[in-house]
């Protein structure tokens, strides 16, 4: 098959920057996994910002101009995103038209309108639900989507509530041969328990809850990999609450550095306040053997079969996180079993080759 990936931010904002999240990483990893299975894959992305380069890849990459959010009338974030996608769709259209695709994968409902514009080009359009991003009139435009799948059961149910059809679930994946526990690692944390977060620092990710956790538990510290508009606010709040000495913002880390931090941490927390489908960083943490504390807004929890690998807490409930941390701190055997279960789940259920094989079968029917 000749497969297209329509994902402007994957090249425009550069993987690893604060603007780029798991969906963009997913596109690169999926495309490269499909290439290993013998398919030709073309990524259609926005021209990178001046002086920056997108992630190196063996995929063919086609670029076109892409509007920055600040240049679009501020009539709401969804309006801006819709205008971005439509503008990019217009600019990249000649390259799509000449590519003779069999199938195009899109990642946002905004691209339903672009699918309408492609309807005469002869390829199928596949929607991958990894969040919400619904907008007025999207139900009308969805009729031009040929196939669909979601990255979690919760995301599938959200799509069903919106559009009336339950898509199949195919979870995101992780490079389990790269993200893995360190061999013979000796943790020297003293009396402190280290928890890690990784990803974009934006309000709905719920990171402020963890400042409250630091207040309630002086024997823990927080390593925060990532960047975004919440970073400065979190630093100011940590100083205000007197916990800045146990809050360590690390900025955006390259994969090697992120893996090292994951190998050194004791557990990972994803405290999202709003729906968070299947965070890539959480899968990476699992693959490194990190036990998980997930808020009830994280869709990934429904896909993990071994219940020892994670604990679910109510979003915005710092006390619930403190309770789990307290149990794990008092009984090292619990955290050891959770670590082994987390790594096993990542290897057996969330590999890229497994996902690529399943999607290949689905798209070939």
In the sheet with 124-129, reading across from the earlier edge strand, the strands are 60-64, 40-46, 2-6, 103-106, 124-129, 147-150, 168-169
Residues 163 and 244 in one domain: no
> Over 70: is that where the pLDDT of 316 sits?
yes
> Over 90: is that where the pLDDT of 63 sits?
yes
Residues 340 and 356 in one domain: no
- pLDDT of res. 26: 87
What domain range is 79 assigned to?
2-173+351-364
- pLDDT of res. 293: 97
Residues 127 and 160 in one domain: yes
Query: Structure tokens of 321?
Result: 């996180």
**Is residue 188 within 8 Å of residue 162, measured between CB atoms?**
no
Residues 356 and 343 in one domain: no
> Over 70: is that where the pLDDT of 138 sits?
yes
- pLDDT of res. 280: 84
Residues 211 and 78 in one domain: no
In-domain check, residue 186: no
Question: Checking phi first, is residue 76 left (phi over 0); if not, alpha (psi -120 to 50) or beta?
Answer: left
Residues 294 and 241 in one domain: yes
List pLDDT tens digits, range 259-301. 999 999 999 999 999 988 778 899 999 999 999 999 999 988 8
Q: What's the domain count of the chain?
A: 2
Query: If you average pLDDT over every residue of the chain, what do you get?
Result: 91
> Over 60: is that where the pLDDT of 18 sits?
no
Residues 274 and 166 in one domain: no
Residues 152 and 229 in one domain: no
CATH number for the domain harbouring residue 167: 3.40.50.2000
List pLDDT tens digits, range 177-204. 899 999 865 455 457 899 999 988 999 9
Helix (H) or strand (E) holding 159: helix 153-163
List pLDDT tens digits, range 317-349. 999 999 999 999 999 899 999 999 999 999 888
**Nearest residue to 244 via CA among 267, 218, 209:** 218
């Amino acid at each position: 098959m000749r497969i297209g990936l329509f994902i402007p931010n994957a090249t425009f904002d550069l993987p690893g920057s604060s603007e780029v999240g798991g969906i963009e990483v997913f596109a690169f990893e999926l495309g490269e996994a499909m290439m290993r299975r013998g398919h030709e894959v073309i990524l259609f992305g926005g021209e990178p910002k001046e002086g920056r380069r997108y992630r190196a890849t063996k995929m063919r990459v086609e670029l076109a101009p892409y509007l920055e959010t600040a240049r679009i009338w501020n009539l709401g974030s969804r309006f801006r995103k819709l205008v971005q996608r439509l503008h990019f769709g217009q600019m990249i259209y000649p390259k799509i038209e000449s590519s003779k695709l069999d199938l195009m994968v899109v990642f946002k409902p905004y691209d339903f309108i672009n699918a309408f514009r492609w309807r005469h080009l002869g390829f199928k359009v596949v929607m991958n639900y990894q969040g919400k991003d619904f907008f007025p009139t999207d139900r009308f435009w969805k009729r031009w989507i040929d196939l669909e799948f979601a990255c979690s059961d919760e995301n599938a149910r959200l799509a069903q509530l919106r559009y009336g059809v339950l898509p199949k679930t195919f979870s995101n994946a992780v490079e389990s041969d790269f993200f893995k526990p360190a061999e013979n690692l000796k943790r020297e944390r003293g009396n402190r328990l280290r928890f890690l977060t990784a990803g974009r620092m934006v309000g709905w990710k719920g990171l402020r809850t963890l400042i409250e956790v630091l207040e309630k538990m002086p024997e823990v510290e927080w390593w925060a990999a990532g960047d975004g508009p919440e970073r400065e606010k979190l630093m100011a709040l940590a100083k205000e609450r007197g916990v800045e000495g146990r809050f360590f913002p690390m900025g955006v880390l390259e994969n090697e550095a992120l893996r090292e931090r994951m190998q050194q941490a004791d557990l990972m927390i994803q405290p999202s306040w709003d729906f968070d489908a299947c965070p890539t960083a959480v899968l990476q943490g699992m693959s490194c053997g990190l036990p998980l504390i997930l808020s009830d807004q994280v869709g990934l929890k429904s896909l993990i079969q071994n219940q020892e690998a994670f604990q679910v807490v109510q979003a915005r409930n710092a006390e619930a996180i403190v309770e789990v941390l307290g149990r794990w701190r008092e009984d090292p055997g619990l955290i050891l079993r959770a670590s082994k279960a987390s790594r096993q789940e990542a290897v057996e259920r969330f590999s890229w080759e497994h996902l690529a094989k399943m999607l290949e079968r689905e798209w070939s029917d």
